[in-house]
Amino acid sequence: MPKMKTVNQEILEQVIAATSEPLLIAHIGQPDWPVVLANPAFATITTDTVLNKPFADVIEELAGRDLALEISEAVRAQQETSLPIEANNREYLLALRPLQLPDEKMAGFYVAYWRTGTGAGTAEGAETHHALLKAKRRIRDLSRDDPVTGLLNGGAFADVFEHDWAVAERETGKLSLVTFTLEEFAAYLEVFGRHAADSCLRRVGQAIRRCLRRASDVVARPDGQRFVVLSHSTDENGVREFAGKISTAVRELGLHHPRSISSNFVTVTYEVTVVDVSAEKRDAKEFLSDLLDVVAQ
């Protein structure tokens, strides 16, 4: 039997079009991860036009913000995953898988398909498949998540930042970062103790996460009393307004802080940085290290 090295693109498109499962392909090697393909079966889930829309936005519209954030984190980690989802009063297993060529270091595309079963075609098989991926995801999360807040830790954020930096460099784009620092946190810890301090960190972290404007935005706790947000917005004024809203949201948590020098409540200060990646002489690792060092001073 002759070896088939390549398949005509039109043939592949016909095969995908004939697939009965709703299917999307997103180009995660470009900013905002645009949807580059949606098969006809996808119209059974939504009649909205999804081509060229940001993949995370499509998922958010279909499944809600929390699930979109979880899926975005899985995509950034280059992981295969699956999650139960409901669409048009029908239950699916939303499966995502990176598409990577042998000579690529990272996947440039992701395929997402809404499955009514696994390859075995049984409910039991779907449940087993989902449980296995959930276990793999949990193992990944143990190394990537900050144990106090559940947000990305410093190492995982650095991986995400380096990936997005490479994309922005190729596309001559910009990245925006906002670093938030809890004011007088050492004094808060001294007054209330470690348990209350950890609770404070968790609540502040979740407040920041709820304020993220898009599911493709990322928040992490790189260390101690600091949080950092990565966004693809290039409008510095808009980013500053966004940071101000987060600062307000943290204060409105109403966490009492008797030793605060600026308020009776827990508050944050913030620094905004918008970097033109293509014009930057430092690499991603050096830039991020310098940024966090400067903010810490």
Band (120; pLDDT cuts 50, 70, 90): very low
43-87: pLDDT as tens digits: 888 888 899 998 988 888 888 877 887 788 788 777 788 888 877
pLDDT digits over 15-41, tens only? 888 888 899 999 988 878 899 999 999
In CATH, the number for domain 154-296 is: 3.30.70.270
* 70 vs 164: CA distance, rounded Å: 17
Contact 264, 258 (CB under 8 A): yes
pLDDT tens figures, 222-259: 988 999 999 888 788 999 999 999 999 999 999 999 98
pLDDT in tens, 148-193: 998 989 988 998 898 889 888 888 888 999 999 999 999 999 999 9
Give the pTM: 0.72
Cβ burial of 21 (10 Å; 0-12, 13-18, 19+) is middle
pLDDT band at 119 (very low <50, low <70, confident <90, very high): very low
Q: What is the rounded distance in angstroms from the CA atom of residue 98 to the CA atom of residue 108?
A: 8
Q: What number is the average pLDDT over the span 212-229?
A: 89
Domain boundaries defined on the chain = 9-143, 154-296
SS3 content of the chain, % helix, strand, coil (to 5): 45, 25, 30
Sign of CA dihedral 40, 44, 50, 56: negative
Using alpha carbons, list the distances in angstroms from residue 35 to 63, 65, 110, 273: 16, 18, 9, 28
Question: 9-143 maps to which CATH number?
Answer: 3.30.450.20
